[in-house]
Structure 1
Amino acid sequence: MPLQIYKRGRFYWVKGWVEYNGRRIAGPYRRSTKASTEAGARDWVALETEMQIRRHVVGDEISKTFSDAIMLYNASEEDAERLIPIVKAIGAMPLTAITGALLKGFGPDWKPMASTDTWWREIIVPASAVINNAHQLLGTPLIRVKPYDKFERISQDKLRDKPSRVERTPADKEWIEAFCSAADPYNAALVRFMFETAARIDQAVSLEPHDLRPAENKVRVKAQKGHPESWITVSPEMMDELQALPPKRPKNRKTGKFMKPRVFGYGSSTGYNTRWKTICKRAGIQYLSAHQAGRHGFFTELVVRQGVDPVTAAKAGRWSDPNLPMRIYAHAETDEADVRARFRTNHVQEDPVQSPKQQKSNKE
C-alpha cells in the first residue's frame, strides 16, 4: 500500500511503501514524520516520495541535493553560519541543477551593498566547498565558478560608492617605535614579534609559555592557512622581551571561564583592536591593523626597504610561493612624481671627443 499517515502520541507517523507507476520502489516505512500536524506530515510524505522517485529514475548520486551534501561536509563554525541562508535557498535542489551563475546571483539579492570579494568569500566559496566535497566522496558533479571580473567589481564598487580593494599601509620601523613608546609592555612586544616574524595575529595571541625555547631563541607558532606548526627563530632581544612578560590568563568571553596562561594575555584574535586604537591615538600615529603591522610590514621592510631577495624573505615569512607576497604584501614606496622626473633628468654622458692629454692618460 502507498504511504499512509496516522497519529501516534503527539506526532504523525507513516507506514507503507513509496510507489511509482504502480510499483513499490522504497519501503516498507513505519516511522515518525516528526510533524505535530497533519499538514506537516503530508509535506513530509510529498518530499520523501519526490526524493525516492528521483533516486529511482536518475540514480542515487545524481539525485543528491545540496542538503544531502551538507550532511557530508565538516564545516567550521564560520562556514556553518554562512551556509545557513544558502541551504534555505537551494537545500532541496539537486546538485546537478546548481550552477555558478545561480550562486553568483545570490550576492546582489542578499548583500546588495557588499563588494564582489565579499560575495565570493561568503557565498561562492562555502557553497562550492560543499558541492566539491560531495564530488570527492560520492562522485556527484563538480562545480567550478568563474570569478567576478574587474568590470563586475568596478561596477559594484561604483554602485555602493566605495572601493573594495584599498591599498594597505605597511608598518615601518618608525611606526613600530612610535607605537611601542606609547604602548604597555605586552602590546609593544606583540607588535615587535609580528613585525619581526610575520606571524599572524591568531598565531601570536595563541602563544603559551611552553611555546618558547629561550636557549635556542625559538618560538613555536601553530598551524594556519595550510602551513604546519613550526618552530621559528627570533632575535635574542625579542626572546628577552618575551621572557620578561609574566603570562596572563585571559577570560573566555563566551563561557566566562579563564583560559590557559598566554604570553601576550589576549584570548582571541580580535581582542587587541580597541587597545591598539587607543595606543595609536596616544602616539599620534595612523592606526594599523595587526596584519598591516605584521605580514605587510615584514615583507615590505625586507624586500622594498632593505633589498632582501623575495625568495629569502618569503621563506622567512613562511610563504610557500614568493609570488604571493610580492603581489600582496610588497608595497612600493617611491613617490610617483620622482618616477616621472627620471624621464626628464639629463644623464651625464662621457664626452666622445678627448684631448691628446686625456688620450695619453687613458693609455697609461
Structure 2
Amino acid sequence: MMLTEHGWKAANDNEKTFDAAADSYLRMGGSQRYLAPVIEYFRGRLVATIVSAEVRQMGIEVFPGCKAATINRQALTPARAILNHAHELGWCSAIRVRSFKTEKPIKLPAVNGEWMSKFISQADADGLYHLSAIVFFMQDCAARVSEACNVLGEHVDIRNKTIRLAKTKTETNATAYLTDECAYRIAHLPMKEGERVFRYSSRWSVNDRIAAVCRRAQIEYRPSHTLGRRTYATRAIKLGVPIKVAMDGGRWKTPAVFLGYVDIDNAGRIVAEKINSHRYANL
C-alpha cells in the first residue's frame, strides 16, 4: 500500500522503491532530518533488494572520513527508519542493520567558579559580550547550544526574566528562567525581532569562540555542553536542589539521564562526614 494525495492504493512491484518508501514515510509524519543524501543514494532501488551490508557501505560513502557516531546518526538511523516503514507496508522483509562501533566519549568535568570567573573576565576584556551572555544562558538555564543559537528577539521577556525556547531537542516549546546576572547581560545586547539574540548561528561558531577565549585566559577548554548542561546539573545538586526540581528546571525527562550529567568530587568522603555528623550528634 502507498499513501497518495488521493488516499491509499496498492503498490506494484516496480513501485516499491526506497524513494517511494521514503515519500510514504514522510507523508505519515516521519522526520525528514538527514534523509536527503540517503534517499539520493538508494534512489530507484527496490527496497526488497537492499541488504544490511549495503546500508553500512552507504554510510561510509556518503560520509567519508566521518566518525562512526556521525555515520550511525546521519546515515544508518534514517535508512533504518525508511526500511522499517517499507517492511510495515509489506514491501520487504525486516532488515537488521548493525551500527558501527563507537568509542565512548570522554566526558569533561563541569566548570567551577574560578574557571567561570577567568573565562568571563577574558571574554569581556575581548569585547565578546555576546559570548559571555550565551555562556551564562547555557550554564544558568541548562540550555543546549542549538537552543541558545535559535533564540530570537521576540523570544526574550526581560521584565519576567524568561526566554521561550521555540525549538528544543524534544521538539516541544519550553520556558527558560533567567538568573539576575543572565538577564542583565542579555538586556544589554542589541535585540531585534526575527534576529538571533546571541548572533551565533551554530554550535561550531560558539565552540570555536569558547576555545579561543580559553587559550587567551590560559584555562582548560570546555565545550558548550559541558559548561552548560553538565555544569547546571552538577551545581544544582551541590546546592541541594531536589533532583526532581533540578530535572524539571533543566528539562531532563528521566533521573538516569540527569544523574549522568552530575559530577560529585569525593562522594565517599561526603557520605562519611554525613554519617559522622548523625552518629555523634547527641554526644
- TM-score bracket relative to the smaller structure: 0.7 to 0.9
Write out aligned runs for 1:265-284 (5 A): 265-284=199-218
Return the structure number with greater strand share: 1
Question: Paired residue for 1:195?
Answer: 139
Are residues 71 and 234 of structure 1, via their aligned partners in 2, closer, same or farther at CA, if it must alter by over 3 Å? same
* Alpha-carbon distance in 2 for matches of 1:140, 1:313: 47
Q: Percent of counterpart pairs with the same letter?
A: 25
Residue 65 of structure 1: how far off its partner (Å): 2.1
1:331 counterpart = 2:245: no
1:244 counterpart = 2:188: yes
* Alpha-carbon distance in 1 for matches of 2:171, 2:19: 31
Write out aligned runs for 1:76-225 (5 A): 76=32, 78-81=34-37, 83=38, 87-88=40-41, 90-100=42-52, 102-104=54-56, 115-134=67-86, 138-141=89-92, 143=94, 145=96, 148=99, 153=101, 163-183=103-123, 184-225=128-169
Residue 291 of structure 1: how far off its partner (Å): 1.4
Residue 194 of structure 1: how far off its partner (Å): 0.4
* Alpha-carbon distance in 2 for matches of 1:141, 1:322: 39
Q: Give the gaps of 5 or more residues in structure 2.
A: 1-9
**Given the alignment, which residue of 170, 177, 196 partners 1:226?**
170
Q: Deviations over 1:138-176 (max 9, x none)?
A: 45457564654xxx73xxx7xxxxx55222333333222
1:286 counterpart = 2:238: no
1:68 counterpart = 2:20: yes
- Give secondary structure in 1 for the equivalent of 2:216: helix
Q: Deviations over 1:241-262 (max 9, x none)?
A: 21111237xxxxxxxxxx9433
* Alpha-carbon distance in 2 for matches of 1:111, 1:268: 20
Are residues 130 and 59 of structure 1, via their aligned partners in 2, closer, same or farther at CA, if it must alter by over 3 Å? closer
Are residues 110 and 272 of structure 1, via their aligned partners in 2, closer, same or farther at CA, if it must alter by over 3 Å? closer
TM-score computed with the length of structure 2 as normaliser: 0.73
* Alpha-carbon distance in 2 for matches of 1:110, 1:213: 43
- Give secondary structure in 2 for the equivalent of 1:237: helix
Question: Paired residue for 1:252?
Answer: none
Question: Paired residue for 2:4?
Answer: none
Residue 181 of structure 1: how far off its partner (Å): 0.7
Write out aligned runs for 1:298-337 (5 A): 298-303=232-237, 305-327=238-260, 329-334=261-266
Are residues 319 and 143 of structure 1, via their aligned partners in 2, closer, same or farther at CA, if it must alter by over 3 Å? farther
TM-score computed with the length of structure 1 as normaliser: 0.59
* Alpha-carbon distance in 2 for matches of 1:142, 1:310: 45
Which amino acid is 1:131 matched to? L
Question: Paired residue for 1:160?
Answer: none
Contact 2:76 2:97 in 1 (8 A): no
Contact 2:34 2:74 in 1 (8 A): no
- Return the structure number with greater relative CO, CA threshold 8 A, min gap 6: 2
* Alpha-carbon distance in 1 for matches of 2:60, 2:90: 31
* Alpha-carbon distance in 2 for matches of 1:332, 1:99: 46
Residue 128 of structure 1: how far off its partner (Å): 1.0
Which amino acid is 1:299 matched to? A
